[in-house]
Homo-oligomer: A and B are copies of this chain.
């Protein structure tokens, strides 16, 4: 957060000029904060500077900084805590986990969960994966497959693809040693913060491989969830293809 290149707002500049694209000050502040987050100036879980300090730094009023932070907080990139400060969102919290895992038990019984890694491989990205992750075809990716169980019954089959460069040194051992959720691991081990995701959902019939791993017959209906997760600059950083068993679980969603 060194150089601050706010658009000149004197009467002769863009604001009064008319034709140039008009960008409010608070949007420029927001962009600067985003840059700071992206380059890791403040790490997940840490506090960013106070509103007054940022206002002084950017030479604007507290209200303008406030509006920028408001938007970032609404997007769940920042977390405000009255009396304490404003903090960078992190996946190292129980409540945040259900923001991305929408599968919920039909009855509210909390379930014991377990993860079993099937394999972790590095390979050249298949064309479809490369396209979705915005990689050049032939670039290295990490492919990770696992089974998630609840109360000892296998429920989720995940086929996860990650760009190779940011995830150097990701091994099965490392994954098995970690007890935190995957996105928390990505955050603390690789500095990759997942901020937003898009999902496409279908109902499909289980193929032979899926049927065996989930202990159902071939043809059994499965919820197929394809997710692309993004970091700060809307840069795709994970492709995840999941197959969910939905006998005792459902995918919940809110429409606003």
Smallest CB–CB gap between A128 and chain B, Å?
Answer: 13
Q: What is the oligomeric copy number?
A: 2
Which one of A24-32, A130-138, A163-171, A193-201 contacts B? A193-201
Known: A75-B256, A255-B99, A256-B76. A246 touches B203 (CB 8 A): yes
**Chain B residues whose CB sits within 8 angstroms of the CB of A202 once the complex forms:** 223, 246, 250-251
**Chain B residues whose CB sits within 8 angstroms of the CB of A102 once the complex forms:** 253, 255
**Chain B residues whose CB sits within 8 angstroms of the CB of A74 once the complex forms:** 74
Count residues of chain A with CB under 8 A from any CB of chain B: 32
Judge if A221 is at the interface, Cβ distance under 8 Å. Answer: yes
Judge if A100 is at the interface, Cβ distance under 8 Å. Answer: yes
Known A201-B250, A203-B204, A203-B224; 5 more pairs at CB < 8 Å: A75-B256, A76-B256, A102-B255, A204-B246, A221-B221
Q: Taking beta carbons and an 8 Å cutoff, which residues of A are in contact with B?
A: 74-76, 99-100, 102, 196-205, 219-224, 227, 244, 246, 250-256
